[in-house]
Copies of this chain bind each other. A is one copy, B any other.
Amino acid sequence: MSRVVKLAVIPGDGIGPEVIAEAEKVLAAATAGSDIRFDKTRFELGAARYLATGDTLTDDDLDAIKAHDAILLGAVGGVPGDPRLKDANIERGLLLRLRFELDHYVNLRPARLYPGAPGPLADPGAVDFVVVREGTEGPYVGNGGSIRRGTAHEVANETSVNTAFGVERVVRYAFDLARRRDRRLTLVHKTNVLVNAGSLWQRVVGEVATQYPEVAVDYLHVDAATIFLVTNPGRFDVIVTDNLFGDILTDLAGAVTGGIGLAASGNINPDGAFPSMFEPVHGSAPDIAGQQKADPTAAILSIALLLDHLGLASEAGRVTRAVEADIGARSAAAPAAGRTTAQIGDAITARLQA
Q: Interface residue tally of chain A, by bracket? A: 35 or more
Chain A contacts with B in 122-159, Cβ cutoff 8 A: 122-123, 139-140, 142, 144-146, 148, 150-159
Known: A91-B192, A122-B120, A165-B153. A158 touches B197 (CB 8 A): yes
Asked if A292 is an interface residue, CB under 8 A from chain B, the answer is no
Contact, CB under 8 Å: A248 / B230: no
A86-124 vs B, Cβ < 8 Å mask (1 yes, 0 no): 000101100010000000000000000000000111110
Interface pick from A18-26, A47-55, A171-179, A219-227: A219-227
Asked if A348 is an interface residue, CB under 8 A from chain B, the answer is no
Chain B nearest CB: distance from A13 CB in Å?
Answer: 14
CB contacts (< 8 Å) of A195 on chain B: these are: 89, 92, 142, 144
Known: A158-B197, A226-B251, A251-B226. A120 touches B203 (CB 8 A): no
Pick from B199, B248, B256: contact of A223, CB under 8 Å: B248
Contact, CB under 8 Å: A227 / B251: yes
Chain A contacts with B in 214-273, Cβ cutoff 8 A: 222-224, 226-227, 229-231, 244, 247-248, 250-252, 254-256, 259-260
- For the complex, what is the distance from the CA of A139 to the CA of B256, rounded to whole Å? 27
Asked if A160 is an interface residue, CB under 8 A from chain B, the answer is yes
Asked if A41 is an interface residue, CB under 8 A from chain B, the answer is no
Asked if A196 is an interface residue, CB under 8 A from chain B, the answer is yes
CB contacts (< 8 Å) of A154 on chain B: these are: 163-164, 200
Copies of this chain held together in the complex: 2
Chain B nearest CB: distance from A136 CB in Å?
Answer: 13
Chain A contacts with B in 34-70, Cβ cutoff 8 A: none
CB contacts (< 8 Å) of A157 on chain B: these are: 159-162, 196-197
CB contacts (< 8 Å) of A256 on chain B: these are: 230
Asked if A1 is an interface residue, CB under 8 A from chain B, the answer is no
User: Assuming A122-B122, A226-B226, what are 4 further A-B pairs, CB within 8 angstroms?
Assistant: A159-B159, A223-B248, A226-B255, A230-B255
Show 23 residue pairs from A and B whose CB-CB distance is below 8 angstroms, ordered by the A residue: A92-B192, A120-B231, A121-B230, A122-B122, A139-B158, A139-B194, A144-B194, A145-B196, A146-B196, A151-B164, A154-B200, A155-B163, A155-B164, A158-B194, A159-B159, A193-B244, A223-B247, A223-B250, A223-B252, A227-B252, A229-B252, A230-B255, A248-B248
